[in-house]
Every structure is written in structure tokens, then in C-alpha cells.
Amino acid sequence: MNEKQTNTSSSPTQRPTKKQKELLVFIEDFIAKHGYSPSYREIMTGLEYTSVATVALHVNNLIKRGHLIKREHNARSLEVVQPTGEQGTPLLTNQVSDAEEKWLVTKVEKLFTDATSEAAPTAQQIQDITTVLTAMRVLGLEGAAQSFAARLSELRQHVLPDAP
């Protein structure tokens, strides 16, 4: 047999179910805390399952789906293929859907409309717009944020300086 069990299906990795996700997170946390993977009995106790067979079923399904690797004939050999916890998750800034981007742009448009509807925009309104545009940049929406830069500069010119 192979030294490692891996995903044998030709399909791409399937998203884990809620229970499987809980199991993956438990395994990751256990490995991070102890330096080795948990036994099936420790998983059973930690996740309050009623039998080790349930753990084995979930583990085998996660191996088939490509989320776990287990070395044959080797105790405590579970490895998470792609960590999902805080430690292993890379910072991804392009996770904004088109609908979310549209919502943010609409929000900025509303903030601009509110600010320009008054004789002079308030410092708080300018700050609110700046905050949302900065968030858009952080989320990887540089182009959308940049498209509002000229309007923001224009608004800033209308803010009256504080009187001494």
C-alpha cells in the first residue's frame, strides 16, 4: 500500500460538511497545542461523539475528499492538507463577491450624496467616506476606491477649518 492515503477521486476537493469542518478545526487546534495529531478516542471525547466508529467514518470521508492525509499503519498520523484555522490561513484580500463590491460602491455613493446635500460637509462625513474607501483598498478593491479619490479631494476642500 501507499505510505499515505490521499484523495483518490479525480474531482477537485469538495467543501467539508459542518461536522467535517468541526473535525478539521479540532485536529488543527490539537496539533497546534500538542505537536502531534489526536487519537480517534481523543477526537471522540473532544467532539462529544458517541463512538470511535463515527470518528473513523468522518476521518475516512475527509481523506477521500482530500482534506486529510493519514500514513498507513502509523498512529497519530493525521495531517490537515490545507489548514483552515487562524495559524494556517493566508490573508486573502480578494474574497469580495461582485454583489458585495456593488453594495460597498452604493454605500460610498450614499455617503457622498449625504455629504454634498448640505452646505458644507462635516469632518465626520469626510472621515466616514475615507474609512469606507480605505476598507475597499484593504479588501483588494483598489480600482473602485480610486474612482472616488477626486470626489473626496473636492469634498475635503469644502470642509471649513476649525475656528480658533
Give pLDDT, residue 18.
84
Q: What is the pTM of this model?
A: 0.45
Look at residue 13 in the predicted model and tell me its pLDDT.
64
pLDDT at 87: 45
Q: Specify the domain boundaries for CATH 1.10.10.10 within the chain.
A: 4-80
Please tell me the predicted confidence (pLDDT) of residue 4.
45
Q: Is 51 in a helix, a strand, or coil?
A: coil
Say which CATH topology domain 4-80 has: Arc Repressor Mutant, subunit A (1.10.10)
Q: Can you give the pLDDT at residue 53?
A: 93
Which stretches of the chain score pLDDT less than 50?
1-11, 85-93, 163-164
Q: Are 24 and 16 in contact (CB under 8 A)?
A: yes
Please report the pLDDT score of residue 91 as a whole number: 43
pLDDT of residue 70: 85
Residue 22 burial (CB count, 10 A): 14
The pLDDT score that the predictor gives to residue 113 is: 92
What is the reported pLDDT for 6? 45
